[in-house]
Structure 1
Amino acid sequence: MEDNNVVILNGSGRSGSNGYLFYKYLQTNHPEYNVTLVEPWPSSHFKWETWQKIGAARYVITTHQPFKVRKNQINLQFWHGVPLKRMGIMANNTRRKDNKRNEKLWHKNADIVASSSDLYETLMSSCLAIETEKYRKVGFPRLDYLQNPVISKEQLLKDLFNTEDKQAEIGIYMPTFRYELEDQSIMEKIKEGNFFAFEDFDGDELNDALKARHQYLIVKLHPYEMRLFANFDSKYSNIAFLNNDYLFDHNYDLYELLGDTDFLMTDFSSIYFDYLQLNKPIVFVTNFLKQYEKTRGLLMGPYEEITPGISVNSQRELVQSLDQLDNQQIKNRRLYWLDLTNQLKGDNYCEKAFKCMTNGE
């Protein structure tokens, strides 16, 4: 085992992957380390050479379950977001046997758990029973990439909408994984192209409303939902579907593009905690709020208190909100939640994580 061998087990694809962006960072800034990116993780199709590299690594980085092969390896756990939805022992839809196994895994395999705040540590430990001494407040690598997009807003507009517009406002819609609601009617709506699964959805009407305001909406669905989606090639001028192919083909992670957007739309995705770094408007789509609270549950509430933005329950409410996505009261609430979820000011999260991993700082 060489001290400069690093293996990154990336289970997050290109949708805000701390692992992938830390890999990019190490390649550029620490060429003295041999870094191997293993994805998708987990998988049953790895070659023997890949397992050899995992076994020979001094440092094993994970974005999901902590993992290592040897006791003397160091596992650095980045996880994949500040949790809002309940998971593990806090969730309504998990089994005690699985939770006990997970608890043992974290105890045995996680050496360093990257953290951003006391609140993050409280939420994670309530779900996964992580011991407090494992946490290090170093922040998350993907946050370094939010403020400096890899391409310009003009280029993103050209790539995804094939247009130029000096007045353009770009929004991105990123819902959570709705399949776990186990509601076939939601999946049917998505199959038909109703990506919001609104009762009053009308794609052409929504497109016209966006067009009239020089607004453009990027839709980034969960890969499972994208596979269901019939209208994959958008027939709309102001709505585009972002799939993983675009990100993989260009070696981008989604977070390297987020800084080009002007507002975020989501439901219960923890992306909104990260998006607070940009101090831009967030719209919360609440048409399945009651179902989520019942099926899985949220870690904090009431929902309207923990979501610093406008809430919409239908397309009619969404269109009515498009002219006025922000105000001073909402801005103040965003800053309040930013302070709660990220106690580390500034950036260089990748370097902080690197030093912590290699020097125990």
Structure 2
Amino acid sequence: MARTTPPRPVDIASVFPELAPLARQAVRLHPRPGEPTVHESSVGGPLLWPADDEWPVCTKEHHHYGDLPVSLDDVRQSRALIEAAWLRPRAPREDLLSPDQRAYLDELETGHPPHPGPNALLPVAQLYLRDIPGLAGPEGTDLLQVLWCPLDHDEGMPAAHLVWRDSGSVGKLLADPPEPVDVDHYGNYVPEACVLHPEVVTEYPAPHELPEELAERLNDWGREQWAEEDPDEEFSPGSAYYQYEHSVAPGWKVGGWGPWSFCDPWPMHCDVCKATYQPLLTVSSGEWDGGSGSWIPLEDREEPSAPVGLRKPSDPPMVQIGRGYNMQIYICPASFDHPHLENMQ
């Protein structure tokens, strides 16, 4: 099923013509539960990986912040247990888990001492360029694969690894990819398999990236709009009204603008050539929340007719970055060989 973002409440570039030259195309990926194959674009799905290509591993320092890592199988079993519990009928005031199930879950969540040595990377996203309008890679490639080490690193995020390849040159496939021995204690960096429903939308910069005078006018305009739409509401989001409703689309996406929120923008230049980094992929902790409900696709607006289980409709991949933030991967526009940049926003 395709996903359709509702039109924005106002054509913001008509109200503020200064924004028109700043419009950017973004592709909302709309990951949804499914069983993708290696020949499809996906989040958390299998990768089209040659049997004779070495699987990447992480040798960087990991930070556990007092919580022991768990195994990938521990995460999968924990999720399956809780999923089944949510979906089964229960009597009023009946506990979600039986005593035996609670004890088993506690065992799964105990964790183990960190393993020394390399940690195999975990598939995060596979994007065929044919599916993602505007996405381009090195000459001769038609596929982007994103993997990461599912543990915290220096910036409190997983460490990503990008692979561009020509899908037509892949011969025999790797049948049994290595799996990480350690993952984040809470399984925050273990994406569930999702198929994608790419959709092109237009974005404008967050207020943080606009000239102060324009941001102030947007703030005043936002207060006026809010007062007209909800005159009985005392709280006005001000400039956040523009940010929530008209600037940056929430959720997993390719391209567009940075979802700046709790921190201000800072200069991001390639260490090799000093070019300004450009957004490649946004990994989100959810496609919508209380402040971004207007971006919910039309096809997802009906209340589920049956229990949804552990996977929230707003977060099918079940990935959590920080305290519900975004991880954005930037690349150098001058060369795909230059190192990429990761930032939490």
Tell me which interval the TM-score lies in, with the shorter structure as reference length.
Answer: under 0.3
Whichever of the two has the greater Rg, that structure is 2
